[in-house]
Amino acid sequence: MNYQMITTNDELASLCDVTCDAPAIALDTEFVRTRTYYPQLGLIQMYDGKNVSLIDPLGITDWAPMRALLLNTAITKYLHAGSEDLEVFLNTFGIMPEPLIDTQILAAFAGRPLSWGFAAMVEEYTGLAIDKSESRTDWLARPLTERQLDYAAADVFYLLPIAGQLMKEAEASGWLPAALNECRMTQLRRQETTDPKEAWRDISNAWQLRTRQLACLQLLADWRLRKARERDLAVNFVVREEHLWAVARYMPGSLGELDSIGLSGSEIRFHGKTLLALVEKAQALPEEALPQPLLNLMDMPGYRKAFKAIKALVQEVAAESKVSAELLASRRQINQLLNAHWKLKPQNGTPELMAGWRGELMADRLNTLLEAYPQ
């Protein structure tokens, strides 16, 4: 496959200058994320319908032309299953591509499976089998092999023409506005960041803890997330989640007690004194400063009936509107709605089932249904 390598600031500036006349481009990224909190960018692929360009980020220091290209609203940007790519763009450039269309979302509105893979899509539209064996290789290693580069180039070379066909299909089905709305929601979802003060709510089995233990977990999870971001280290490489929970549960008072509840030697060596100080801080909090007990959604008396009723409504609306029930409402989205309805967790904005194209289809009926399941 033919492609051009972009390895310098001047080459990138020239590429972006030429590409600014293209009506649409296909984008993809390759990255590594094993021990780090943030994805480590290894390669950017771009195809404008004429040239496939592979941008090596390791030698580039001036990304201003790339940022300008990504924000150029006259150029449509296509990605496939691009949620993680969006995070890469956001963390590397501080922006997201605009406007963005995800071909996996387009395909779902055209009747394809919700998680339709790129290789399956290419095979259906072109009859070609794509080799995906290089997808999990080390994209930070240099030099990249010819197989890696061919694999990377194929990801955008086939994407752009297929995207055009999917746009026509989505438009013909009448679902294009909904598909574009869903792409926008994907962007907004990726822009959300966890407030360190709320990180404790995402710890498994936090609902099993009493109020002072929860206060301890709140302090511990806040510290861990800040440390992970500061050091660019995956949170479980700071302190494992089950160990963080154990510290909150047993509130140890010595390094020996940390060892006895299962913390690793490195966790104790690097963070033991900090963990003990946070435990001591939690023990000193007045009663009025303690958080309320967490309620587990699935233990709510009406949860099973409410979930089943919502699923039935989703099936009904899906049949009426001729869109897949899987696309219309996921388990996560139903649980998000019930958490908001019963006020079990702080909510950022409107639940997804009540917003956008989903809200237009079923918000009124969901509101009526939820009246039967008061808090």
Q: What is the pLDDT of residue 136?
A: 80
From the candidates 56, 85, 87, 352, which is the catalytic residue?
A: 85
What one-character-per-residue DSSP string does 187-256 give? HHHHH----GGGGGGGSTTGGGS-HHHHHHHHHHHHHHHHHHHHHT--GGGTS-HHHHHHHHHH---SHH
Domains of the chain, start order: 4-191 (3.30.420.10), 196-289 (1.10.150.80), 297-370 (1.10.150.80)
> Is 28 one of the annotated active-site residues of the chain?
yes
Q: Please provide the distance, in angstroms rounded to a whole number, between the alpha carbons at the two ends of the chain.
A: 60
Query: Around 177, how many Cα atoms within 13 Å sit in the side-chain half-sphere?
Result: 5
The amino acid present at 138, given as its one-letter code, is D
> Is 78 one of the annotated active-site residues of the chain?
no
CA distance 100 to 54: 20
Q: Which residues contact 114 (CB under 8 A, 6 or more apart)?
A: 108, 324, 326, 327
Q: What is the pLDDT of residue 275?
A: 99
From the candidates 30, 102, 169, 352, which is the catalytic residue?
A: 30
Q: What is the pLDDT of residue 199?
A: 97
Query: Around 269, how many Cα atoms within 13 Å sit in the side-chain half-sphere?
Result: 3
CB 205 within 8 A of CB 248: no
> Is 17 one of the annotated active-site residues of the chain?
no
Q: Which residues contact 225 (CB under 8 A, 6 or more apart)?
A: 194, 196, 199, 235
Q: What is the pLDDT of residue 89?
A: 97
From the candidates 3, 37, 78, 151, which is the catalytic residue?
A: 151
Q: pLDDT digit of tens for each residue in the chain (375 aa)? A: 899 999 999 999 999 999 999 999 999 999 999 999 999 999 999 999 999 999 999 999 999 999 999 999 999 999 999 999 999 999 999 999 999 999 999 999 999 999 999 999 999 999 999 887 777 889 999 999 999 999 999 999 999 999 999 999 999 999 999 999 999 999 999 999 999 999 999 999 999 999 999 999 999 999 999 999 999 999 999 999 999 999 999 999 999 999 999 999 999 999 999 999 999 999 999 999 999 999 899 999 999 999 999 999 999 999 999 999 999 999 999 999 999 999 998 888 899 999 999 999 999 999 999 999 997
> What are the backbone dihedrals phi and psi of residue 16, each rounded to the nearest 5 degrees, phi first?
-65, -35
CB 116 within 8 A of CB 67: no
Q: Which residue has the tokens 């294009």?
A: 176
> Is 182 one of the annotated active-site residues of the chain?
no
> Is 150 one of the annotated active-site residues of the chain?
no
CB 97 within 8 A of CB 27: yes
Q: What is the pLDDT of residue 99?
A: 97
DSSP character at residue 46 = E
**pTM over 0.85, yes/no:** yes
Q: What is the pLDDT of residue 348?
A: 81
Q: What is the pLDDT of residue 227?
A: 99
SS3 62: coil
From the candidates 48, 56, 102, 155, which is the catalytic residue?
A: 155
Question: Nearest 5°: CA angle at 243, between 200 and 38?
Answer: 60
Torsional sign, CA 336, 342, 343, 344: negative
Closest CA to 208 of 267, 335, 295: 295
SS3 51: coil
